[in-house]
Structure 1
Amino acid sequence: MTSWNDLADAEPAFATRVRERFGIARHCTMATLRRDGGPRISGTEVEFGDGGLFVGSMANAVKALDLRRDPRVALHSPTVDPSEDNTSWAGEAKIAGRAEEIGDHAGEDGSHRFRIYVTEVVLTRLGEPADHLVIESWHPDRGLERRERR
């Protein structure tokens, strides 16, 4: 499994830009899978630290129970609207991966903490000039790729 630190070591500039997108606000969005396989969207906070990439939750929150049952997860950075004249937009970042709970209960109150192992990271932003999108993606087996979409 590929940790956030593996990505940061392989592509430090890209990893910095992704972290900047996740750092614009505290509240991010996380997608997990319900017992019936349907998607569940939850708010979460994302932590980048020495040990990698982490999310947490309150004791027995449904998103934590989802991750215990099926570790597939997607994270979406906070977003801001493009400028009024649509000439600038710093973009958004997405991380897909697998969650691994650290310990049975990480917190004394029964809260959960999960390390996220990365399977895909995508950064989308406006190009220069602002007449196209720039989509950068990183996969453990393919490395960093860049596409433009008009």
Structure 2
Amino acid sequence: MVSIEVLPATSATWNDVMETAPAFAADAGPLLEAGSKIVATLRKDGSPRISAIDMRLVEGHAVLMLMPHSQKVRDIRRDPRVAVHASSHASADMASWPGDAKLCGRAVQADPVTAARLRDAIGAPEEVAGDPVFVVDITEVVITRPAPGGDQVEVILWKGGDVRRMQAR
């Protein structure tokens, strides 16, 4: 058995991201809502598992809608650390690529009343009424996109209310 130490981290809601960095959130939100999304969870042996996922930004939270008996639910219940990547499918033409966004944190299962309210806000179909809903306590959000001028990639990181910009070739 692998022992994994979970270190304490500052966490936030999507509302916190919007309040501390409104321009960043205005750019990251549409990227997180668009395209296909992949979640990384940790398997029992500590290795990563990646799976398609439905994640929405609802009522100031990053909300994960999961199938009740999926391996990713078992992973999250054992170790709540997750990373979600929203991909806009980069093309060879950097100028037409809007960018990607990622968020990391810990997935916390919503209580039944909150889960029902979030499902209603999303407009989830009745047949998923009993499925688990998780809210991500966010530790960081990252945007990767073309830098102004289009010849480099810009990486913008939100962590604990601070925003940092980096460029890479």
TM-score (structure 2 length as normaliser): 0.79
Could you say what the CA RMSD is over the residues aligned between the two structures, in angstroms? Answer: 2.0
Aligned residue runs from structure 1 range 40-119, under 5 A: 40-82=49-91, 84-103=92-111, 106=115, 110-119=130-139
Name 1:148's counterpart in structure 2: 167
1:126 aligns with 2:126: no
**Structure 1 gap ranges (5+):** none
Greater shift, 5-14 or 109-118, is seen at 109-118
Name 1:23's counterpart in structure 2: 33
Distance 1:61 1:104, change over 3 A: farther
Shift of 1:117: 0.8
Distance 1:56 1:87, change over 3 A: closer
Which amino acid is 1:18 matched to?
A: A
SS at match of 1:21: helix
Higher helix share: 2
Count of equivalent residues = 147
1:12 aligns with 2:22: yes
Amino-acid identity (%): 35
Shift of 1:65: 1.1
Greater RCO between the two (CA within 8 Å, min separation 6)?
2
**Structure 2 gap ranges (5+):** 1-10, 117-127
Shift of 1:40: 0.4
Which amino acid is 1:5 matched to?
A: N
Distance 1:53 1:85, change over 3 A: closer
TM-score (structure 1 length as normaliser): 0.88
Q: CA separation in 2, counterparts of 1:91 and 1:68? A: 31
Shift of 1:45: 0.9
SS at match of 1:63: helix
